[in-house]
């Protein structure tokens, strides 16, 4: 049992994000991974990650696995899927501000990665929260089953915290579970309305650059909404699955 209060809370928050993502249809089978750095874990730089083979709707905090940045399991009864470590481990190791990382194949965001020159357009309010924060990986290299592929993916995130991965999905990183989950949710909303608008065949109405920049700054000043969003979802989870947060 986890006795460290901060580690216990970290496990509850990450479990909430996984379960809420499944509740909202942002998951894919038992694939995709969320991770959260816990650098004070017995003096070892480490992170929590969801285990291999457990559906997100069934995950409880004690299912989460703690591994160090070199891939060694420190705590947990389950195994970690290899691609999860090679992607998340490399990023946690190289990008200190990537405290939380969420990688998903959510449908509308992923659909943009299937298009030649597909990108997030600055045409909706939800999209503007990501202005100047996005990078694109235009080379699909197969499953990330070796550290070289993980390093290659990580190299695209030097000046960004959101990556569209060609023919694959998206990866979002940030300083807390609440912030990254909120970004993931609103990214899918932004991509959804963009794809719907594209389907009409009509031209986009682009937001001017100065307005886009100012709006992005406004979003960053309102990040308390992210914490409120996660706490509201925890109440929803308790209603539909009482006791989900029990360790």
- CA atoms of 27 and 127, how far apart (whole Å): 21
Is 246 part of any domain? no
With CA atoms as reference, report the closest residue to 80 among 18, 35, 121, 44. 35
pTM listed for this prediction: 0.94
Residue 148, token pair as written in the block: 């070289």
Per-residue confidence band for 192, with pLDDT thresholds at 50, 70 and 90: very high
Is 26 part of any domain? yes
Total number of domains in the chain: 1
Strands (E), the chain: 33-37, 46-49, 65-68, 73-75, 100-104, 134-137, 162-165, 169-174
Write out pLDDT tens, residues 41-86.
777 789 999 999 999 999 999 999 999 887 789 999 998 888 777 8
Residue 150 has a pLDDT of 78
What's the half-sphere exposure (Cβ side, CA atoms, 13 Å) at 160?
21
Q: State CA 196 to chain mean position distance.
A: 23
Is 110 part of any domain? yes
For residue 214, give every residue at least 6 positions away whose Cβ sits within 8 Å of its Cβ, in sequence order, or none.
none
Per-residue confidence band for 173, with pLDDT thresholds at 50, 70 and 90: very high
Residues 15 and 245: beta-carbon distance below 8 Å = yes
**What's the domain range around 153?**
5-236
Residue 107 has a pLDDT of 97
With CA atoms as reference, report the closest residue to 113 among 50, 215, 53, 187. 187
Is 243 part of any domain? no
Is 71 part of any domain? yes
Residue 85 has a pLDDT of 78
- CA atoms of 95 and 77, how far apart (whole Å): 28
The domain spanning residue 142 has which CATH number?
3.40.225.10
DSSP 77-88: SS---HHHHHHH
- CA atoms of 155 and 142, how far apart (whole Å): 17
Is 224 part of any domain? yes
Is 76 part of any domain? yes
Write out pLDDT tens, residues 127-167.
999 999 999 999 887 777 777 777 888 889 988 999 999 99
Please check the confidence at residue 182 and state whether its pLDDT lies above 90.
yes
Is 244 part of any domain? no
């Amino acid at each position: 049992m986890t006795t460290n209060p901060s580690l216990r809370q970290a496990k509850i928050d990450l479990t909430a994000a996984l379960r809420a993502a499944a509740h909202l249809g942002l998951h894919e089978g038992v694939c995709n991974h969320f991770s959260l750095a816990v650098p004070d874990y017995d003096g070892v730089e480490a992170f929590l990650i969801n285990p291999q083979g457990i559906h997100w709707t069934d995950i409880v905090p004690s299912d989460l696995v703690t591994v160090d940045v070199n891939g060694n399991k420190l705590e947990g009864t389950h195994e970690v899927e290899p691609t999860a470590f090679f992607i998340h481990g490399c990023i946690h190791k190289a990008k200190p501000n990537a405290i939380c990382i969420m990688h998903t194949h959510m449908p509308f965001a992923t659909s943009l990665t299937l298009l030649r020159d597909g990108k997030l357009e600055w045409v909706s309010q939800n999209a503007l929260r990501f202005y100047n924060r996005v990078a694109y990986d235009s080379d699909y290299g197969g499953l990330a089953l070796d550290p070289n592929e993980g390093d290659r993916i990580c190299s695209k995130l030097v000046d960004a915290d959101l990556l569209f991965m060609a023919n694959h999905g998206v990866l979002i990183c940030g300083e807390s579970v609440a912030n990254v989950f909120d970004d993931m949710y609103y990214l899918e909303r932004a991509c959804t309305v963009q794809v719907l608008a594209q389907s009409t065949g009509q031209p986009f109405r682009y937001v001017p650059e100065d307005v886009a920049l100012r709006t992005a700054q406004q979003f960053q000043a309102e990040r308390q909404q992210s914490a409120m969003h996660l706490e509201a979802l925890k109440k929803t989870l308790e209603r539909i699955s009482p006791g989900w947060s029990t360790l």
